[in-house]
Amino acid sequence: MDNKTYDIHVIGGGLAGSEAAWQLARRGFSVRLSEMRGGGGSTDAHQTDGLAELVCSNSFRSDDDTSNAVGLLHHEMRECDSLVMRAAAEAQVPAGSALAVDRDVFSAHVEKALADLPNVTIVREKIDVLPDAGMTIVATGPLTAASLASSIGAATGAEALAFFDAIAPIVHRDTVDMDICWMASRWDKGDGKDYINCPMNKEQYVAFRQGLLDGEKTEFKEWEANTPYFEGCMPIEVMAARGEDTLRFGPMKPVGLDNPHAATPEFPNGRWPYAVVQLRQDNKLGTLWNMVGFQTKLKHGAQKELFRTIPGLEKAEFARLGGLHRNTFLNSPILLDRQLRLKSAPHIRFAGQITGCEGYVESSAVGLMAGMMAAAEMAGRQWTSPPRTTAMGALLSHITGDAEADSYQPMNVNFGLFPMPDEAVKKKDRKRAYTERGKRDMQHWLSETKAAEPA
């Protein structure tokens, strides 16, 4: 397939690239979708060559669209016929008020949906340099191959920033001791039994935290030195080093979890554990469960030894141990225009985590917008961004100019990116005011956008 047989080239078959290709193809444009995995390329984090593989958590976070920013983003993406949201619905597994998926079912659904479109050609190939002509979307994610990253650096005239991201372990469900653990959601949300809870008393917690501090860690390579962590995906041992109770107010918080085994001598302080390790279902069969918030840079041997001291996980078998990888992203407020185009080469757009958004949903949403922008440009139509009062608009504004370029860091969608609601709204009602306003403004924007698009 040569340059004359497709309208646009999408480089990267992750969440953002897959979503961009879907949006373009659904609008009648032909797409070449290049993915290096399966075509001579690989990364330290991916396990398969499937499109839209989830390499960290299997959760898309809160699905509450009444009082949560990421839940509002879910809603907006569904309204835009998002492929990622379609696939998530097909692959959903129980997770309380969160949207979590079977990662294999999810990836397979995305790949099949794109392969079934006659105007999408999926090519397994490694792209080493940015195209010097032709409409292009680069969605290679935070693990962009070194050769392409070098080409991007040459085109931008500025160095990419970088941070570390870590992966949580996955446990086989049938190796968890349910005589010690129990199933419940915090405050009985969801169906009330969406998480496996491993309780600790104070002595166990103190020993576990010390084990995190003392455990053998992955050594940094020379090129990784002085690279900061992203606060939203902090390795658990780094949190442990911040203070004795940091974990108890973070991923190991025990509030809202009533231990039914509390009458045993193991827990003399009563029904509330001192700390809790939670496991969340990772596949539809319910055979794999991931350790929530337990992304880590401990070496594999140290992980097995320490994590088997957690009550209920003494005989745990791990389908995957935790890991650490280096993420890279652009200083987008300086390098990209308001339509995600590279200022020095406007035929190239960037999408997904390489732009400096953080999270599966945010990455997909930026890919969705990049696809819509490119489609409008190729159709000769003016693109109007979603209002800043919407989750998509707020995220786009952060990436393309509202953030301080000198201190630009990856960001999850949050209400801090939105304009404040009317001053008359009481503080307790503010989150609902954000979401109601966002839904209303998104619907208005979509009605105008769709009216401008060809049938």
Read off φ and ψ for residue 11, nearest 5 degrees.
Answer: -105, 115
SS3 of 273, please? coil
**What is the spatial distance between Cα 269 and Cα 36, in angstroms, rounded to a whole number?**
54
**What is the spatial distance between Cα 318 and Cα 171, in angstroms, rounded to a whole number?**
4
Per the annotation, does 446 bind a ligand? Answer: no
Per the annotation, does 16 bind a ligand? Answer: yes
Cβ atoms 415, 69 nearer than 8 A: yes
Per the annotation, does 12 bind a ligand? Answer: yes
Per the annotation, does 15 bind a ligand? Answer: yes
Please, which residues have CB within 8 angstroms of residue 335's CB and are 6 or more apart in sequence?
156, 158, 342, 343, 344
Per the annotation, does 374 bind a ligand? Answer: no
- Hey, what amino acid is at 452? A
The candidate with the shortest Cα–Cα distance to 355, out of 83, 14, 42, is 14
Read off φ and ψ for residue 454, nearest 5 degrees.
Answer: -65, 150
Residue 337: CB atoms within 10 Å = 13
**What is the spatial distance between Cα 449 and Cα 140, in angstroms, rounded to a whole number?**
28
DSSP state of 427: G
Residues annotated within the binding site are: 12-17
Residues annotated within the binding site for FAD are: 12-17
